[in-house]
Structure 1
């Protein structure tokens, strides 16, 4: 059993990815960089994770660094990072335990099935996230269901592209 963090949902309600949808207080909000509307995306190994070695605040820090790492990866044809583009559908994070290191599983898509970097981008994502302290293993899977659409983009991405 784990807690779910969320990724951009730019047509929905405002809640924090670390809260699982609960109301946020100022301490919660300060852990985000920056607080935004979100959609189910990041699944943290929750309190039921036996033998976890990270405190709740450390989990928040690692989660923030995972999102920051995802924001360093760009589609070479679009001047917006893949996170703000809405290409990341889900991220599951299992914290390190006495037996294993931290593991991240990412489900992502591309703007189109025939994207020229389809074979390379998962490796770029893996490399970026593997650099995060507390993460030892990264698996990236591609899906085109549901297909990506511009509605998945953040307002920041739309502004950058001149769509707002």
Structure 2
């Protein structure tokens, strides 16, 4: 199994460019050719950028809500994500939105979205692009 991770250290912090927040290759070899793995990763991130928090006019990826993306050898995708607040009114709907968006990516197998709240989300996790969009720069 290969792992493409967006762990806490890879999640963008203020001042880093959005394109630098790519998943970090895992330690194991992948049965998926590197070029395809790169394409899948890029396409999954692009799909995540189509999902918006309805209360904030910025996509969930740029907000720093996606903590981890794992792509296994069967092209199954596991995503750990959070919300800006545990009591977010769309908490029950957001995983479905993410699953639908990533499910539209060509070549993706099963999708599992897990909500996590550790570490808690903070504004420091937003990309520079998100900060500019929200006039927080």
Aligned Cα root-mean-square deviation (Å): 2.4
In the TM superposition, what is the alpha-carbon distance from 1:5 to its structure 2 partner? 4.2
Point out which structure has higher relative CO (alpha carbons under 8 A, 6+ apart): 2
- Structure of higher CA gyration radius: 1
Between the aligned partners of 2:96 and 2:24, the Cα distance in structure 1 is: 19
User: Which of 115, 119, 138 is matched with 2:88 structurally?
Assistant: 115
Which consecutive aligned stretches of 4+ in structure 1 deviate over 6 angstroms post-superposition? none
The 5 A counterparts of 1:6-155 are 6=6, 7-11=10-14, 35-36=19-20, 38=21, 41=23, 46-47=28-29, 49=30, 52=31, 54-96=32-74, 102-155=75-128
SS of the residue corresponding to residue 19 of structure 2 reads coil
Gaps of 5+ in 1: 15-33, 97-101
Structure having the larger proportion of residues in strand: 1
Between the aligned partners of 1:35 and 1:72, the Cα distance in structure 2 is: 16
After TM superposition, the score normalised by the length of structure 1 is 0.72
Aligned residues: 134
Between the aligned partners of 1:13 and 1:79, the Cα distance in structure 2 is: 20
Between the aligned partners of 1:90 and 1:125, the Cα distance in structure 2 is: 13
